[in-house]
Structures are given as structure tokens and as C-alpha cells.
Amino acid sequence: MAKYDYDLFVIGAGSGGVRASRMSSSYGARVAVAEERFLGGTCVNVGCIPKKLFSYGAHYAEDFEDAQAFGWNVGDRTVDWSRLVENKDKEITRLNGIYRNILKNNDVTLYEARATLTDAHTLDVGGEKVTAENILVATGGWPVVPDIPGKEHAITSNEAFYLPELPKRVVVVGGGYIAVEFAAIFHGYGAAVTQLYRGELFLRGFDIDVRQTLADEMTKKGIDLRFNANAARIEKSGEGFAVTLEDGSVLEADCVMYATGRAPNSRGVGLENAGVELRDNGAVMVDDQFRTSVSNIYALGDVTDRVQLTPVAIAEAMVLAANLCNGEDQRMDYADIPTAVFSHPNIGTVGLTEEEARRRHGAVDVYRETFRPLRHTMTLREERTMMKLIVDRATDRVVGAHMVGADASEIVQGVGIALKCGATKAQFDATVGIHPTAAEEFVTMRTPMPEPEAQAAQ
């Protein structure tokens, strides 16, 4: 008779938790997973998927305008926000069902209830006692709103997908990728948008040319970007809200959205009952095999606060399942992870920023081009595309690639493969471009930028 009910019990049926459950079961483990909210986690329900659907929709405003340059006569347009939300909900429900079937078809027991640890091998799952030899915590992250007066009036990305109607005036507070994405979404659908960021320039951690290019393009589109600005309090004002900034100025809004970060969702899981160590921000501390301070308890994904990306959580889950349930000895490789920001225009990036490359490699060559996309030679829209390569001068290896422009995410995915393979600039140069595309610019840039000192002198 088995000592425990399950070989592996997973808390959280998000992207990482479901993949770990499915793969572990395929290796012969007896697996169960508990989810108290919705199958698929943040990405499927209130993250990547609905956000990109909304982003697609927000592009149509400019597409309708641009169509005239190509001979189309487009009449009056109106937005039915409730139809957008309804159709999004149908798609999310479909995906929830897919996740349910994945678990069922792989013999994973699903508990649709809250699971909390009572000790290192025992859980309370909706009032039922369940035991497991190993436990995986994959509970993701949760939006954080700073403790300011009136914070109860603000929404986060969780609520933004369920707004009953499109707000006419929106204040977005934050400077990360979620903030710039929602600023673009609301603006694209016709809202007047002000984005506040307390620093000099948003998207900290991204390449400086990416940050500056996006700021320029968002400003051209009519989004009111306010840097070195922050909300001090939010008050009800008539049918809307008054947002008082730290400098005393006041903004009127129908919706105030905070996108100021996400915290690991580790509280209330009972980790303290098992002696699992957490960082000050609540992140679960793990080693390179995702083992916590308790030898049979593991964690991965956003709850560990390493790289908060869905594909990373999935990759981590594959490594964990192979090691834990198939006797392998894999390690997760976090180098050169491509990522995208679905801002308007999009960002695609992989590898090192220019600052990181100079710090790590010393002498680097930087290739950068900005240009009006072919499409806009007809529309006369002033949007510019920026593409950038960073090359380690000593080895000729391309160590960073960055793009701001239409389809950046699709283009940089392919470039990411090249960087992962250690491609050199000479190999990029030897690759024949596809013409006419923006992507060909990555293999046709030939002249490096002057060194920063020379640029400053010019």
C-alpha cells in the first residue's frame, strides 16, 4: 500500500502547474493538482491571452484610418465594448476546457478547491486531508497596488478585462510592460489616456533605445506620458475620480488602473507550516532544481520571482518533471530568453541591452536603424520602426537584438534562435534577407554606430 495518496501534488493549475502535472503523470507518477480560481492561471484568464486579444482589437482604429490610403472607403465606426468582453470570455472558457481535458486525459486528479499545507507532506484541500510524497507550489503572482488614500477606487489588470463599459478617460499608473500595453489598448479603443511613471523613463531594464523609441511613438499617437510623476491619492469626483499627483496637480478620470508590479502569490498557502523559506517580497526560495528549503517541496514560475514569463514557467516545469519523476539531471537555462511587449508599436527583444553588453564584454559594436515602414509610405503616418543589434567585438557574436515596430514579437522569435545558437554578425550578414520586409534589416545592417564618446562629440 502506498505511503502517500499521491507522488506529486501541485498547488496551482496555471501554465507551469498544468505542464508539471501532465509531464509528471506521463512519467508514471500519481499526480493531483488543486486550483481555487480558474484553470490556466494568469496567462489564460487575466494575462497574456486576453491582453493580446484586446491589443489586436485596439489596432483597428489605425487600420481603419490607414485603409483609405490603399483604396478602401471605410464608413463610420463605433465600439461595442461589451461585445469585446463577451467574445473574449467565450474564448477564455474554451481554453479553460482545454486545460481541463489536458489534465483528465493525462490521468491527473483535479481538485477545484483551495489547497494549503498543514505540514511537509499533508494538505487541506477544500476541507479534505490529502497526502503527497512531493509537493509543487505553482501559485503565480498577484497585482500589487501601493497603499495610498483611495486605493480602493483603482483597478488592476485583473479587473480591466471585465469592465462593463469603455471608460472615456483613463489614468494608468506604472512603467512596466503591463502599463504600456494597457495604455495602448485603452487609447486604441478611443479613451483619453494619461500614463504616470515615477521615474525618468519607463520600461526599466529594457534597452535604452527601445525605451526612448516607444516613448516617442506613444507620444505621437496622443498618449499623455508623464514621467517623474506619481499619484498621491484618489478621490471620488462626480461620476468619476480625481487623481491628485504628488506635485499637487489633479487629473480627472473615469478609470484609474494600477500596473505597478506583481508580488509572488505565496501567502495563505501554508508554507510557514512546513518551514518553507521566503524572501522579503514573498518569493519562494529555490535552488537550481526548484527545491525549497524543505527537501520534498518545490516551487516554480512567478511565485519564485525569477523570470515572470509563461514560457519560462512551462520550461521550468519540463525540467522539474524530468528530474523528479524520470530520474534525469536537467538544469533550466535562463540565458537569451526572447520576450515581447504588446505595446503600440510592439517590442521584441532578446539577449543583452547595450548597457549590459558594454558592462559584460567591454568593446561592442552597435548597429541601429530607424525607418518609416513601407506600409506608412502610403499612409504617411509618422510611425517609425527601430531595430538594433549588439555585437561582442572580440568574438563577433551577436549578444543582443531589439526591435520596436509592427510584428516585432514575431520577428524577434526567429532572431532568438540565432542568438541561442551563438550566431556571429558575419553569419547574420551572410543571410539573404526577405524583401521587402522590416525583418530583413536584421541581416542588412552594415555600419556600426560611432562610440558613445564620438556621438557626444558630434
Could you tell me the fold of the domain covering 339-449?
A: Enolase-like; domain 1 (3.30.390)
- Domain ranges in the chain with CATH number 3.50.50.60: 6-143+263-326, 151-260
Query: Which strand (E) or helix (H) includes residue 113?
Result: none
User: If we measure between CA atoms, which residue out of 327, 446, 444, 345 comes closest to residue 386?
Assistant: 345
d(CA 15, CA 204): 26
d(CA 85, CA 50): 9
pLDDT tens column, 87-131? 999 999 999 999 999 999 999 999 999 999 999 999 999 999 999
Residue 457 has pLDDT above 60, yes or no: no
> Which residue reads 486545460 in cell numbers?
99
**Confidence grade of residue 2 (pLDDT, cut at 50, 70, 90):** confident
Give me the pLDDT at residue 410, please.
97
d(CA 262, CA 226): 22
pLDDT tens column, 19-30? 999 999 999 999
* Residue 258 CB-density burial (10 A; 0-12 exposed, 13-18 middle, 19+ buried): buried
HSE (side-chain half, CA atoms, 13 Å) at 311:
8
- Please provide the DSSP assignment of 288-353 as one string: TT-B-SSTTEEE-GGGGTS---HHHHHHHHHHHHHHHHH--------TT--EEE--SS-EEEEE--
**Confidence grade of residue 4 (pLDDT, cut at 50, 70, 90):** very high
Percent above pLDDT 90 for the chain? 98
**Given 3.50.50.60, 3.40.50.1820, 3.40.50.620, 3.90.950.10, which CATH number is that of 6-143+263-326?**
3.50.50.60
> Phi/psi class of residue 140: alpha, beta or left (left: φ > 0; alpha: ψ in -120 to 50)?
left
Cβ atoms of 55 and 131 within 8 Å: the answer is: no
pLDDT tens column, 231-280? 999 999 999 999 999 999 999 999 999 999 999 999 999 999 999 999 99
- Domain ranges in the chain with CATH number 3.30.390.30: 339-449
DSSP class of residue 241 equals: E
Which residues have CB under 8 Å from 11's CB, separation 6+? 17, 33, 34, 115, 123, 135, 136, 137, 138, 139, 269
User: If we measure between CA atoms, which residue out of 265, 315, 282, 275 comes closest to residue 297?
Assistant: 275
- Quickly list H helices, 68-106: 81-105
> Which residue reads 504588446 in cell numbers?
342
Query: Which strand (E) or helix (H) includes residue 263?
Result: strand 262-264
d(CA 394, CA 28): 48
**Which CATH code fits 151-260?**
3.50.50.60
Give me the pLDDT at residue 456, please.
62
Give me the pLDDT at residue 452, please.
77
What mean pLDDT is predicted for residues 208-215? 98
Sheet holding 169-173, edge to edge: 224-227, 192-197, 169-173, 255-258
Cβ atoms of 301 and 14 within 8 Å: the answer is: yes
Is 59 labeled as catalytic in the residue annotation? no
Give me the pLDDT at residue 84, please.
98
Average pLDDT, the chain: 96
Residue 402 has pLDDT above 80, yes or no: yes
